[in-house]
Structure 1
Amino acid sequence: MNADLPGVLTDYLNHVRVERGLSPNTVAAYRRDLTRYLTFLEGRGITTAAEVTTVDISEFVQELSDTQAASSVARHVVSVRNLHAFAADEGIAGENPASEVSPPKLAARLPKALSVDEVTRILDAPNRGTIAGLRDAALLELLYGTGARVSEVCGLDVDEVRVALFEPEAGLRLRGKGGKDRVVPLGSYAARAVNDYLVRARPTLAQASARPDPALLLNQRGHRFSRQSAWGAIRSAAEGAGVTTEVSPHSLRHSFATHLLDGGADLRVVQELLGHSSVATTQIYTLVTIEHLREVHAAAHPRAR
């Protein structure tokens, strides 16, 4: 096991990638944060994990706070804390010097949910008379219909979705964060959009590549549709729908959760559908619905203002 900091970082990234099964995007985020941290330590002449003190880490956090948003600083603190916990567990260093360093408190931010009308307009925006439009419609219906993360939808393989189409009672299996799978219902709108895409669009897209790709959603070259391409398709649909607020894949996920709760769904059910490990994460959506009630009350009640 390497004792120098670059070696510890390499071993740690291999650990989270192989043993913990974190996604390539998460591993890349850890690498960016921790490379910045190691550069800071290098400037202080620190080359091994055993040399790092709580003061060093606190001053790194302070330096970040001068230029970075609180959310970015908090993410760095978590990354640093996990790196030193790994070093301690592997016997490379003593106790974790980052365990007493707290991330900055984040202001509670309500997720931005779209109205049902806005979502409907976005879902109807793709031109379903075109190959790309059929694919984008399937993407959008899956995101809003299941509450999936964009990475989960882009990660679907065609055979997995065919199971959900032909055996609706089996549901659609999504591969969530940290390798945690969950099964969600596939509604009729999403099922219809996916089936139309499979019959009328995917065979044409698949012909663009010499090697068959198992992915459900394909790009013009016949390869798996990327998260970046999905973002572009969603923004294009929002513009076509005349929705002026900023729309992202998470907007559809937030709207899925908010509309379920507005319709009377149990919080625990929404937690399961979203794949949250803790109900506390899901509870933020109850604040959204309360805020909505407050707005309606203020607009409609003669003595509310």
Structure 2
Amino acid sequence: MSSTQTTENVEDPVGYFIEDLLYHGKTDRTRGSYERVLRRYEAFLDDGTTPRTATHRDCMAFVHSLRGDLAESTVATYAAYLHRFYGYMTEVGVFDGNPMTLVMEEMDETIDKDPARRDISIPRMRSFVAGITHPLHRALVCTLLKTGMRVGELCNLDLRDLSVADPELETTYPLGTRPALTDRPNSLYVTPDAAVGEELNGAVRTASNKRKRETVIPVDDELHTVLKRWLAIRPDTTSPAGPLFVGTSEGWGERLDPQAVRHIVERYARDAGWYRTGGGAGENVTPHYFRHFFTTHLRDRTGDRGVVKYLRGDVADDVIDTYTHNWGDQVRETYEANVYRLL
């Protein structure tokens, strides 16, 4: 369906909305989540009723049908998706009004923005990592656990973003050519410049980095080891950007995207009993869970919230400038003295 059609003859409003989400830069995962909810809503409506003709009572009945089967926060999320759908379609002139406005005002459920998550100890996580033998899979999981970066940031890493003091690797790969890594061996650079659909380092990106300032994260001896084992088998790639992580099965030699990484993590989490279809953030171990694990355990061990916030990439400019200018003393030393062991 072309987005150039007039709003008067939109035959598939859900498809129209999902297509526009793509143009707005939303990821495949986000668009898929919206489509699952909206198609479920379509299927729920009585024969003859469409999203265009549905009333607030139809919307209320749909939300009520979700109760009991889904957690309260999930019900609230589904309602928010429907509300945004109607709001957008009203703004662009496809629908005459938003029947979800009243429903949202009267709902008791709210989205839990900080859910309690599964409590996994460091020894249990160490056992989990020990069960991952594939060099790529172990490198992905250990990088997430050791750095706290987001899955999109992981996928956007290029060879130039990794600096290691290792003659074997330095003579084989063009590593660490970022100016920010000069005099900072054994570190990873996370850029704030990657955005979906935009070109960076000669390649169009399929994920965005959400941090607003550059971050340099130390690479300890364990992460150095797993990355070196991965690079020893890394397939050649035709990408001019030289992605650090590429496919070894489907999409051989192509940059991994966030969905591929999520599938890899889900596979091992299911085997460990840490993932269930339909389980929420409080139950399932995902790449984002590793960011939570990193934050919780490193903050508890260092007692330094500033360093942890710097590493996560979510601090104010004045704070990040402090750690950037005194990186060796305040970031590397604190990190290396306190980061947990995984191998």
TM over 0.5: same fold? yes
Q: In structure 2, what is the equivalent of residue 196 of structure 1?
A: 228
Q: In structure 1, what is the equivalent of residue 137 of structure 2?
A: 136
CA separation of 1:122 and 1:212: change in aligned 2, threshold 3 A = same
1:36 is displaced (CA, Å) by: 1.2
Residue 195 of structure 2 contacts residue 208 of structure 2 at CA under 8 Å; is this kept in 1?
Answer: yes
CA RMSD, 1 decimal:
3.9
**Contiguous gaps of at least 5 residues in structure 2:** 1-5, 165-174, 197-206, 275-282, 316-343
Higher helix share goes to which structure?
Answer: 1
Q: In structure 2, what is the equivalent of residue 257 of structure 1?
A: 295
Q: In structure 2, what is the equivalent of residue 279 of structure 1?
A: none
CA separation of 1:192 and 1:77: change in aligned 2, threshold 3 A = same
Identity of aligned residues (%): 21
Q: In structure 2, what is the equivalent of residue 36 of structure 1?
A: 40
Q: In structure 2, what is the equivalent of residue 229 of structure 1?
A: 264
Q: In structure 2, what is the equivalent of residue 161 of structure 1?
A: 161
CA separation of 1:199 and 1:56: change in aligned 2, threshold 3 A = closer
Q: Distance in 2 between matches of 1:194 and 1:173?
A: 22
Residue 150 of structure 2 contacts residue 287 of structure 2 at CA under 8 Å; is this kept in 1?
Answer: yes
Q: In structure 2, what is the equivalent of residue 290 of structure 1?
A: none
Q: Distance in 1 between matches of 2:209 and 2:247?
A: 27
Residue 143 of structure 1 contacts residue 253 of structure 1 at CA under 8 Å; is this kept in 2?
Answer: yes
Length-normalised TM-score, structure 2: 0.61
Within the candidate set 166, 170, 173, 2:191 is matched to 173
- Aligned residue type for 2:309: V
Cα deviation per residue 1:38-60 (whole Å; 9 max; x = unaligned)? 2223x2522362x3322221111
CA separation of 1:61 and 1:28: change in aligned 2, threshold 3 A = same
Residue 146 of structure 1 contacts residue 256 of structure 1 at CA under 8 Å; is this kept in 2?
Answer: yes
**Contiguous gaps of at least 5 residues in structure 1:** 240-244, 277-305
Q: Distance in 1 between matches of 2:245 and 2:90?
A: 43
Residue 56 of structure 2 contacts residue 102 of structure 2 at CA under 8 Å; is this kept in 1?
Answer: yes
Residue 112 of structure 1 contacts residue 254 of structure 1 at CA under 8 Å; is this kept in 2?
Answer: no
State the SS of the aligned residue for 1:110: coil
Q: Distance in 2 between matches of 1:238 and 1:160?
A: 37
Q: Distance in 1 between matches of 2:122 and 2:145?
A: 11
1:191 is displaced (CA, Å) by: 5.2
Within the candidate set 230, 248, 254, 1:220 is matched to 248
1:25 is displaced (CA, Å) by: 0.9
CA separation of 1:238 and 1:265: change in aligned 2, threshold 3 A = farther
Q: Distance in 1 between matches of 2:227 and 2:272?
A: 20
Q: Distance in 2 between matches of 1:255 and 1:238?
A: 17
Cα deviation per residue 1:166-186 (whole Å; 9 max; x = unaligned)? 224772237689845324433
Q: Distance in 2 between matches of 1:180 and 1:258?
A: 22
Residue 143 of structure 1 contacts residue 249 of structure 1 at CA under 8 Å; is this kept in 2?
Answer: yes
**Is 1:116 equivalent to 2:151 in the alignment?**
no
